[in-house]
Structure 1
Amino acid sequence: MPSKYENETPGYTMTTVMEEAARCLLCHDAPCSLACPAHTDPAKFIRSVRFRNIKGAAETIRENNALGAICARVCPTEKYCELACSRSGIDVPIDIGGIQRYVTDFEHQTNMHILKAGRSNGRKIAIIGSGPAGLQSAVTLLEKGYTVDVFEQAEKPGGYLTYGIPEYRLPTSIVDFEIKRIVDMGATVHLNTKIGVDITMAELKASHDAVIVAIGASEGKILPMFEGNPIVESAISFLARAKENRGNIEIPNDAVVIGGGDVAMDVVTTLKKLGVAHVTDAVYEEFAEFKASKKELAGSQREGVTILDGYVPENVDGHTVTFKHRHMNSRLTIDADKVILAVGQEVNAEKLGIHIEHGEVPTAGYKTQDSKVFVTGDIAQGDKTVVYAVQKGKEVADEIDGILGGHEND
């Protein structure tokens, strides 16, 4: 079976995007815009599309979302803007993500340059981590006139955008496009640079007016019963291998995935697109309490994934895993060539001087006990989606600007 790993679903054409935009009711109160965590303002950009003002639509998106092309593809819109869409009371909500993808693709194809750096204010900010929150905070600070240094321990910037989300959902070319525009604004990205090894926090604080820690949960959890088992791999590791090799990896004949969030859906769908014959997903939650996006769940089911809801692993012996149902008197035993655990991620904040509990800073907001150090992204409290990372990136940048008053040369 040929791999479908790199096959992104085709987007709208000019004709079809106009048809979809024409369904918009142009609500005066625009509940879709109020429901967007990043304040991307779907009502305004859809209105622009209806009048064939695609450049204006792109400007509206970029005003509040530096990662608009990425969010168009990976945002769980059914939980936010589309859930609030007034059209859903008539038939189905407007495909806001699809329209946003059309606009940002047009922006890319016509080489628009919307994001602009502000006049220098003489202040310098260091950002640790180049995931979505770090990238958005870099843009917001650059627009305000700050000099920005981004420090990334990996070989490529982007964090989970680069090393996690599968190619069929988020093409590498889109991530590269978004990051290049941020570099073109003036951000300096230092790759293969680990804080505490290549440069210390003390050195960063001495050379910058503030430091933003925007690290993600980059290490996959392994349940104790699976430790040391050679056929077991974390979802984070598997998705990174698939993405780095553009799907050209050795695949098993059958695989069991444990977990029921969006990461698990990415894993099971990737396995099927790579040609794995039998993929079974054992999920702690029953369908009524599923955590995964409905869109991603439906996509996995279309690919032919078998989902066992309400089952938890009870025992493992080499290739054989026994599952027990949470509520029924039922057990299942499965022999698999590969077991992939999508049971959560962990944060490695070693040598950063930041107190982390359960993957987050235990206090709300973005400040830390150190007046020069701020946090954002996954380690700040709140939702862990990309669109919320955009919101957090903007908010931490605004907070720093309010403290530093970065307009002394205006």
Structure 2
Amino acid sequence: MTSKYNQEPKGYTMSTVMQEAARCLLCEDAPCSKACPAHTNPAKFIRSVRFRNVKGAAETIRENNALGAICARVCPTERYCEKACTRAKIDGPIDISGIQRYVTDMERKENMQILHAGKDNGMSVAIIGSGPAGLQAATTLRQKGYAVDIYEKQVKAGGYLTYGIPEYRLPEEIVDYEVQRIVNLGAKINYNVTVGKDITMDELKAKYNAVIVAIGASAAKTIPMFEHNICTESAISFLARAKENKGNIDVPDNVLVIGGGDVAMDVVTTLKKLDVPHVTDVVYEEFDEFRASKKELAGAQKAGVTIIDGYEPKEVHQNRATFKHRKIDSELTITADKIILAVGQKVDADGLDIDIQHNEIPFREARYHTKDPKVFATGDIVDGDKTVVVAVQKGKEVAEEIDRVLGGQNND
């Protein structure tokens, strides 16, 4: 039952990655490189691959992305670098993520040591949360010579990388590898520590030169009519259970999913990989409005998920839900053994003494600042796309802003 859930698709071999890299037009002032939020340079690392310089390719990737092996697997490249690829106008974009995965897989296999910490500058930063933004911020700060302590409320680092993205898309060993590399840089992770309960924000501000809130949007949103419904579970809860148990969970034969984002696609595809015969996804958006990655949507459709677009919930009675169409006079009722809500996440900032409005922190004149000059914020609680690669961008930028404010003395 669990083999399909745990099985990651095979990546390139040396011969096949060379064939794909050879398709690259080696554009001058490459548009793909301009389109990456993390400022990774695909044109440069693909050129290195063509010359069989895998370490050089890895150095290019890691220069701007501490989570390169993760982004290679989960980044919606069709929105970013591959969308801008010149080759897309001829016969299809270069498989940039696939080439990046090959490079970072070789980096791991050969135990390449690419990232290095900077000389100690005598200052320290606390980071609350070890999701992608927090991990990238820790890396950039260590490279600039700051001492970094991460406070993580869970038993493992990674946030949604560890507790949400399914194993077939992002194996646990890849997340562990990326985290360990950051620990090897000198970042210290304090596990099972909830800021606001086990340690206060005031204590952190007294101990460190700056504090970064990188908690993400980790709490599940709901729809009022589904609250306290015994047949309903949140997508976050379901995905966490599946990942923690390596797919060894009991799931009924008929499941209704509500939602049309990437998390919803993770849910429905996971259900099919767990051999659930009847998976129906009802989505508020119509297909031309879909928020999910085209690749993940196509994967769900190929897996046999029934997707009904343009409907919103009207009422629910335990396992029986009725929907109405947004634009036409049409209703449908579905009875399922289980209902999973994938309608978004929200910020849970209890005990952090930060001003959350409309699920984000309102910023002053400078991005990443909060009402407290010593406290900064990054990740999904900052406006912008809620993807891993954008979280990497935000983590790097908040570290650079802190360094500017504190006047780091070692920026080599």
**TM-score normalised per structure 1:** 0.98
Task: Provide the secondary structure at the position in 2 that maps to 1:4.
Answer: helix
Q: 1:128, 1:67 → 2: CA distance?
A: 18
1:26-41 to 2 correspondences below 5 Å: 26-41=26-41
Give me the whole-angstrom Cα distance separating, in 1, the residues matched to 2:278 and 2:184. 45
Aligned counterpart in structure 2 of residue 370 of structure 1, from 367, 372, 390: 372
CA distance in 2, matches of 1:77, 1:124: 35
Are the equivalent residues in 2 in contact too, given 1:377–1:393 (CA < 8 A)? yes
Q: Give the structure 1 partner of residue 266 of structure 2.
A: 266
Residue of structure 1 in register with 2:84 after alignment:
84
Percent identity over the alignment? Answer: 71
Offset of residue 63 of structure 1: 0.3
Q: Which residue of 2 aligns with 1:279?
A: 279
CA offset at residue 3 of structure 1?
A: 4.6
1:407 aligned onto 2:409: yes
Q: Could you tell me whether the CA contact under 8 Å between 2:2 and 2:248 is conserved in 1?
A: no
Q: Give the secondary-structure state (helix, strand or coil) at the position aligned to 1:291.
A: coil
Amino acid at match of 1:116: H
Counterpart amino acid of residue 399 in structure 2: A
State the match for 1:299 in structure 2. 299
Structure 1 pair 82–408 and aligned structure 2 pair: CA distance change class (3 A)? closer
Q: Which amino acid in the other structure matches residue 359 of structure 1?
A: N
Cα offset, 1:408, TM superposition? 6.6
Whether the aligned pair in 2 keeps the contact of 1:268 and 1:279 (CA below 8 Å) is yes
Match of 2:400 among 379, 383, 398: 398
Structure 2: how far apart are the matches of 1:88 and 1:202?
A: 52
* Coordinate RMSD, CA, aligned: 1.1
Task: Provide the rounded CA distance (Å) in 2 between the counterparts of 1:337 and 1:221.
Answer: 21
Question: What code does the residue aligned with 1:369 have?
Answer: K
SS of the counterpart of 2:6? coil
Aligned to 1:220: 220
Contact residue 365 and residue 381 of structure 1 kept, 8 A:
no
1:325, CA displacement in angstroms?
1.1
Contact 2:144 2:411 in 1 (8 A): no
CA distance in 2, matches of 1:278, 1:382: 35
User: Are 2:116 and 1:116 equivalent residues in the alignment?
Assistant: yes
Deviations 1:167-208 (A, max 9, x none): 000000000000000001101000100011110001101110
Preserved contact between residue 3 and residue 275 of structure 1 (Cα < 8 Å): no
1:376-387 alignment to 2 at 5 Å?
376-387=378-389
**Partner SS, residue 70 of structure 1:** helix
* Matched ranges for 1:198-237 at <5 A: 198-237=198-237
Unaligned runs of 5+ in 2: none
Residue type at the aligned position of 1:157: A
- Per the alignment, residue 73 of structure 1 pairs with 73
Give the CA deviation at 1:358: 1.9
Equivalent residue letter for 2:6? E
Q: Distance in 2 between matches of 1:2 and 1:151?
A: 33
Q: Paired residues, what number?
A: 410
Aligned to 2:342: 342
- SS in structure 1 at match of 2:149: strand
> Structure 1 runs of 4+ off > 4 angstroms?
none
* Kept after mapping to 1: 8 A contact 2:131/2:159: yes
| Residue of structure 1 in register with 2:10 after alignment | 10
Deviation at 1:2, TM superposition (A): 5.9
Q: Distance in 1 between matches of 2:182 and 2:23?
A: 34
Hey, what's the Cα distance between the residues in 2 that align with 1:56 and 1:301?
38
SS at match of 2:168: coil
Aligned residue type for 1:342: A
- Alignment of structure 1 residues 230-269 onto 2, 5 Å: 230-269=230-269
- Report the CA distance between 1:395 and its aligned residue: 0.4
Q: Identify if the C-alpha distance between structure 1 residues 409 and 221 changes in structure 2 by more than 3 Å, giving closer, same or farther.
A: closer
TM superposition score normalised by structure 2? 0.98
Q: Is the Cα–Cα contact under 8 Å of residues 2 and 275 in structure 1 kept in the other structure?
A: no
Three-state SS of the structure 1 residue aligned to 2:312 is strand
